[in-house]
Structure 1
Amino acid sequence: MERRKSLWSGLLGAMLLLAGTATAHPHAWIDLRVSLLFDDDGQLHALRQEWAFDPSYSQLLLEDMDAAEPGLDMDTALRMMAARMLGNLREYDYFTEIRRNERQLETAEAREGELLWRQQRLHLRFELPLEPVRPDRARPLRYRVYDPSYWIEILHDPGDVIHIEGAQGCDSRLERARPAGWLVAYAATLNRNQRAPVEDLGRAFAEQVSIQCDTSEP
């Protein structure tokens, strides 16, 4: 099976329970909120993420869950969907790339996962544990969150900020993606059943966040 089709059909089809209806809505978007969690020693130890799925996609997810498991109460349905989403995302590092000095860090298993229904949207929350580290100005930590196939666009919520919890002297800087014009035009032509020859296409459209701290702070 072609890699791009396999990624979407195998991962997102199973993850989002949309094997039957995904062709009607092949491109969705997510508002991303991130909190950087520091411990008492001033070291970053986790990234807490919240993904807010767009209203139309959220409704489709609920309708497909109801069709697959009729009669479930909302709380049970949300628990089942959260477990399945995170279970399938594990193979793809939860769509999260974390680097320091250009070395990609391993992604641990997510914890404290939950799915909420708020303001007509589904919100997936989880934490990614990190080996404790204090990123300094010379060696910042950088992360990207993106769907490799770019069927789902993931961008930081423009109405929110990147939260830093438990640290002084640390800040974050968000860099917008600057994909080449030809790549933007090319991505717009793809449909669900086409294989993109561009490996890891979504990375070209992903925002990058740099996290750095003053070494003088504890």
Structure 2
Amino acid sequence: MRIRPWFLLILGLLLPTGVFAHPHAWIDLRVGLVFNEAGELVRMEQSWRIDPTYSHMLLEDLTGQLDGDTDIDTALEHAAERMRENLAGHDYFTELSAGERDLDIPPARNARLTLEDRRLHLRFELPLADLDITAGDRFSYRVFDPEYWIEILHDPEDIVFVENRPGCAVTIDEPRPDPQLIRYAATLERQDRSPVDNLGRHFAETATLECD
């Protein structure tokens, strides 16, 4: 069974191929949108909370790589930077648009990886100040893996936080994938097949910023 390359990019670590004979993982997504005083959207903050099983696997692999002079916090710091670099080639699994414009994804910064309640949390920021997005624009985003291997959905216990812009909130539209795509995606966990381009986009939530 071949491990999907993008899956390794997310995890940032190499684990034995047999571990993922029947892969399944999910990520709880938390997002913050930060405006400046001029009403410009300047930053998008993302937090990915990895499910307990894969968090445990990653942590075991991390601790197995430690030498006598490296503590776990330092190892997590280095792993976060590797994950940021690897995900850059995939736009951090993020799609942005403003009105009719599809936006280029800027380089992420301030990547951090922490262990909280037995789950790994990857956090990073996307600087948006150069994209000329204001509160009056219809801004939307999606976060998804391209092969529908890892499920990435907004944390049901959290809201998308909008900072410095009262009257603005984010609505989240659930995906409505074609049943044939659902059946096809299900086979990807059992068979080594070439996926449909951007298959995960059909299963992604669409988040839209709306302001009074």
> If the length of structure 2 is used for normalisation, what is the TM-score?
0.89
Q: Which residue of 2 aligns with 1:13?
A: 8
> Deviations for 1:67-86, whole angstroms, at most 9, x for unmatched residues?
34455411011001101111
User: Shift of the alpha carbon at 1:32?
Assistant: 0.3
AA of the residue aligned to 1:125: R
Residue 89 of structure 2 aligns to a residue in which SS? helix
User: Following superposition of structure 1 onto structure 2, how do residues 39-58 of structure 1 map, counting pairs within 5 Å?
Assistant: 39-58=36-55
AA of the residue aligned to 1:160: D
Give every structure 1 segment of 4 or more consecutive aligned residues whose post-TM-superposition deviation is greater than 6 Å: none
User: Following superposition of structure 1 onto structure 2, how do residues 23-102 of structure 1 map, counting pairs within 5 Å?
Assistant: 23-24=20-21, 26-71=23-68, 72-102=70-100
Identity in percent: 48
Q: Which residue of 2 aligns with 1:182?
A: 180
Residue 80 of structure 1 aligns to a residue in which SS? helix
Query: Is the Cα–Cα contact under 8 Å of residues 77 and 112 in structure 2 kept in the other structure?
Result: yes
Residue 54 of structure 2 aligns to a residue in which SS? helix
Residue 86 of structure 2 aligns to a residue in which SS? helix
Gaps of 5+ in 2: none
Residue 107 of structure 2 aligns to a residue in which SS? coil
AA of the residue aligned to 1:12: F
Alignment partner for residue 102 of structure 2, among 101, 104, 110? 104
> Deviations for 1:85-140, whole angstroms, at most 9, x for unmatched residues?
1110011111000012332101111112111100000001111011242142xx41
Deviates more, 1:112-121 or 1:67-76: 67-76
> If the length of structure 1 is used for normalisation, what is the TM-score?
0.87
User: Shift of the alpha carbon at 1:13?
Assistant: 1.7
Gaps of 5+ in 1: none
- 1:152 matches 2:147: no
User: Shift of the alpha carbon at 1:40?
Assistant: 0.9
Alignment partner for residue 163 of structure 1, among 137, 142, 161? 161
